[in-house]
């Protein structure tokens, strides 16, 4: 209402609403300008590449119990998988049922692989190629890249140029590697402890010259194992093959001595056996039943 001077007087409620609106506007502007600074001294792209290479090479062996899942046309398939991996392309994966009975075993010794599928009563063998490893893992990775992944990190492409920028809103380093026909974008968060920077892998994406994503890795829920930061959950996607793999670690051990016998290729043991490569379709013919007297 107007006062004696003719000016309109605002009610206390109206003044309160105006004050709240001003506070909200200031908050929005402050949020849009929010910056997160590095908790460590800035470094160059070359320095970060060297640090990440050292981090990947720091893992010599892994033993873990995991819960793995992959997508099928019928839905998600999950299984408990116990694994061992060692530098030199040595791998062992044992998938077991909820009753702890073997479902399948895959072993690679650096050059060759063998897969025993208890469900189909079949034995497969051949070169330890990415496509053969994918017969159990569903995603196509080289054996040593599998070790890098299980060690909580990402394979890195060969590259001629590297770029680094700081994402001040997310508080993350964004490293872009440019290869001859591929590009890789790696996102990381670093933390400083005792004068050293330890890196949490957030994501890694490799694409070809046309922009098609070849490999996408995401990682979360990091913790420390033997001074290395490793995630409890890793997801891997290969859109070009329409495949994916989720890995949740129940137990995770790094850099321990593993028994050499663990990487001995399993024999057929009387099962029908088939040599396989990338072009081979797995035989689904049911094995003949033994006749009883």
pLDDT given at position 28: 46
Work out the average pLDDT over 35-64. 95
Q: At what angle do helices 130-137 and 143-150 cross, to 10 degrees?
A: 40
Q: For residue 287, is pLDDT > 90?
A: no
Work out the average pLDDT over 216-244. 96
User: Per-domain residue ranges for the chain?
Assistant: 45-275
pLDDT given at position 194: 81
Token output for 232 = 């409890």
Token output for 20 = 């709240």
pTM of the complete model: 0.83
The answer for 109, left when phi > 0, alpha when psi is -120 to 50, beta otherwise, is alpha
pLDDT given at position 285: 44
Upper half-sphere CA count for residue 213 (Cβ side, 13 Å): 13
Q: How confident is the model at residue 11 (pLDDT cuts 50, 70, 90)?
A: low
Per DSSP bridges, beta strands 161-167 and 172-178 are: antiparallel
Q: How confident is the model at residue 286 (pLDDT cuts 50, 70, 90)?
A: very low
Token output for 52 = 């990440």
pLDDT digits (tens, 9 = 90+) for 20-45: 555 455 444 444 557 889 999 999 99
Q: For residue 170, is pLDDT > 90?
A: yes
Secondary structure of residue 269 in the 3-state scheme: coil
Q: How confident is the model at residue 204 (pLDDT cuts 50, 70, 90)?
A: very high
CATH topology of domain 45-275: outer membrane lipoprotein receptor (LolB), chain A (2.50.20)
pLDDT given at position 288: 41
CA distance 67 to 80: 5
Q: Hey, CA dihedral for 135, 141, 147, 149, is it positive or negative? A: negative
Other CB atoms within 10 Å distance of the CB of residue 51: 17
pLDDT given at position 71: 79
pLDDT digits (tens, 9 = 90+) for 251-280: 999 999 999 999 999 999 999 999 999 988
Token output for 233 = 């959950």
């Amino acid at each position: 209402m107007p006062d004696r001077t003719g000016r309109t007087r605002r009610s206390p409620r109206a003044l309160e609403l105006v004050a709240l609106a001003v506070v909200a506007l200031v908050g929005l502007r402050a949020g849009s300008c929010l910056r997160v600074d590095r908790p460590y001294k800035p470094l160059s792209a070359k320095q970060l590449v060297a640090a990440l290479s050292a981090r990947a090479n720091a893992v010599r062996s892994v033993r873990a119990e995991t819960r793995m899942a992959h997508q099928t046309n019928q839905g998600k398939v999950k299984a408990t998988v116990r694994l061992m991996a060692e530098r030199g392309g040595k791998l062992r994966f044992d998938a077991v049922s909820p009753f702890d009975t073997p479902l399948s075993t895959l072993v690679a010794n650096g050059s060759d692989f063998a897969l025993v599928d208890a469900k189909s009563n079949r034995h497969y063998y051949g070169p330890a190629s990415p496509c053969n490893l994918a017969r159990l893992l569903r995603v196509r990775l080289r054996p040593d890249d599998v070790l890098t992944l299980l060690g909580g990190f990402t394979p890195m492409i060969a590259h001629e140029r590297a770029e680094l920028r700081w994402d001040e809103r997310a508080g993350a380093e964004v490293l872009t590697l440019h290869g001859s026909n591929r590009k890789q974008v790696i996102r990381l968060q670093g933390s400083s402890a005792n004068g050293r920077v330890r890196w949490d892998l957030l994501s890694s994406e490799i694409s070809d010259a046309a922009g098609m994503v070849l490999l996408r890795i995401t990682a979360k829920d990091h913790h420390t194992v033997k001074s290395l930061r490793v995630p409890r959950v890793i997801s891997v996607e290969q859109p070009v093959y329409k495949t994916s793999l989720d890995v949740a670690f129940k137990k995770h051990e790094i850099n321990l001595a593993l028994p050499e016998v663990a990487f001995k290729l399993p024999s057929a043991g009387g099962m029908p056996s088939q040599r396989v490569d990338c072009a081979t379709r797995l035989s689904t013919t049911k094995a003949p039943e033994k006749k009883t007297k």
